[in-house]
Chains A and B, each alone.
Chain A
Amino acid sequence: MIRLARLALSLLGAVAMGTASAAAGDIGGQTPSLVVGTGIDRVAVTSRFTGRELLVFGALSHPGSVVVVLRSPPSALAITQKVQTGPIWLTGQKVTVEKLPGVYEIAASAPLDRLLPAGTRQQLGLDLQDLIAKAQFEPEPQDRPRWERAVLTAKERSGSFVLRDHAVKITDGRLFSARLDLPASLPLGHYTLKTYLIRDGRVLAQSDESIDVEQVGLEQWVADVAERKPWLFGIGLTLLLAILGLGLGILMQRRSGS
């Protein structure tokens, strides 16, 4: 509650400040700024987590376009190519892709290529192709552009890489809101959320937020043990399955016997 109240206050402040500068009628009169809120700074992942919406909202000191970028920690993926041999589809080469964010979502108030020149887009990491071009492919495939396209398609299909051009709504040139969809399969860790205020092909102001994606509760414990102590997990689970099977089986036999 306190967080929200503080946020509301700072939003009001920003709008007031913006109105003042708009009255002055130029950008130079006041440093452009933006205030951004997400309502949450932590996403709790349980086994019931099947994705969620992330609302990003805020206020602008000056009118302009807004771009919101959510970036997760890197997460490796492997990709294989199916090859037809006679009538049968076999698995061909397998390539592991590293140094690529697991989730990358861009929401903009207008098409990006109209907002910023290509150089700036690449510099700010707003170019998905460029992002994949900078990833590490192991082993390096012969026809790398084709594999890069395949990675992009796969990432877009799973909702991990998203680029939406009209996903930021601006009200009265002062307030903005954006909805991002977090997919079910989220890499854990520290996510960065960058918001840019853009006008005339230049970034006027930038705001950096962060969101922590964490597993919680029993699920966290199970996933943690399975990942870090796989042998202990295997032995424990196998014992649990045996006990469960034995217990339920004996229970059922007693019931049917009586």
Chain B
Amino acid sequence: MEIFLPIAHMDINIFMIVAFGLLVGFLSGLTGVGGGFLITPLLIFVGVPPLIAVGTGAAQIVGASAAGSYAHWRMGNVDMRMALILLLGSWTGGLAGVRVARWLESSGHFGLVVTFLYVGLLGFIGLSMLLESLMAMRGARRPAKAAAGEKKSSWATRLPWQMDFPVSDLRISVLLPVSLGLAVGVLTALMGVGGGFVMVPIMLYVLKMPTKVVVGTSLFQLLFTTAEVGILQAGMNHAVDPYLALALVVGSIFGTQFGARLGARMPGEQLRLVLALVVVGVAVKMGLGLIIPPEHVFQVTRVL
């Protein structure tokens, strides 16, 4: 069913967008890795202007992560103090990022910057996931990380503004979660991702939070970060398309359920290999877009 998107100013088959949501939700449910970093490239591939793909990508994560955040919060898996300090950083980063996005869009460079960011980030994530899952499938043991962790905590403990986080059973400097939040907020604004793939490993290996709390807290903070960025992208940049966002949310919630059910019965390494291949594929396709001569040297973009 073709509909006209009021913000993106284009026709699109809305069932195709629901299918994107289903597909990405399915992969996300299957592997437990959030799929925000696949939604934005897919939207760009079908011709949605990059800024709208990024803004809508962030907004749809609000819907996709709401139920999960609520469930973790009710189970007490959210370190609320940590989450609020992370949000202090990510809301600031989000605001700065949306302003940068506006500036880049008005000078006509946003699409290019997003492509570079995606090629770099997806290439890195995809390749490291690929290596990890290949190594795991060969049965290679990963070296213990305890030794490295001890060294890290020595400089981390010397930073000012130490604070107790009883739920995570930690005492660390406020600067660590604030700067982590800051980075994630900027990523959310410029790439339309939740940033879980950055936040979770850092919480686990750098901050050394307990795994159960990491999942709940990161989900909780990304819900509110994407909500802030979604509102800012709509308010400042007119960059959130309502029909795209609703279709993606509906698709991804159903997709996640199917994925999670199937994922429980399948070996984790192979699943991660599949996701890694998809991510590398998307990065390559975006990268080729930079090299292949454009069909038209002049391109119509949005007036901002």
Contact = CB atoms under 8 A, between A and B. Distances in A.
Interface string A219-232: 10011001100110
Contacts of A151: 298
Interface in A214-258: 219, 222-223, 226-227, 230-231, 233-235, 237-238, 240-246, 248-250, 252-253, 256
A88 B9 CA distance: 28
Contacts of B64: 245
Interface stretch (B67-75, B166-174, B198-206): B67-75
Interface in B1-42: 1-7, 9-11
B301 A79 contact: yes
Contacts of A243: 66
B216 interface: no
B256 to A, nearest CB: 8
B302 interface: yes
B62 interface: yes
A96 interface: yes
User: Most chain-A Cβ atoms within 10 A of its Cβ — which of B5, B67, B235?
Assistant: B67
Contacts of B179: none
A177 to B, nearest CB: 27
Contacts of A93: 108
Contacts of B112: 90-91
A131 interface: no
Interface stretch (A4-12, A24-32, A42-50, A190-198): A42-50
Contacts of B148: none
Given A234-B232, A241-B246, A252-B253, A154 B3 contact: no
B297 A82 contact: yes
B230 A237 contact: yes
Contact of B60 (A88, A227, A241): A241
A82 B294 contact: yes
A238 B233 CA distance: 11
B303 A78 contact: yes
A230 B299 contact: no
B109 interface: yes
Most buried by A among B11, B232, B243: B11
Interface in A78-107: 78-82, 84, 87-91, 93-94, 96
B301 A237 contact: no
Given A78-B303, A91-B112, A253-B71, A154 B242 contact: no
- The dominant DSSP class at the B interface is helix
B243 A47 contact: yes
B291 interface: yes
B3 A245 contact: no
Question: Which of B112, B292, B297 gathers the greatest number of chain A CB atoms within 10 Å?
Answer: B297
Contacts of A87: 291
A80 B257 contact: no
A90 B5 CA distance: 28
A222 B242 contact: yes
Interface of B: 1-7, 9-11, 59-60, 62-68, 70-71, 107-109, 111-112, 223, 227, 230-236, 238, 240, 242-243, 245-246, 249-250, 253-254, 257, 261, 290-294, 296-304
Given A50-B3, A233-B234, A234-B231, 7 more contacts: A80-B108, A88-B290, A88-B291, A238-B230, A241-B245, A248-B254, A253-B67
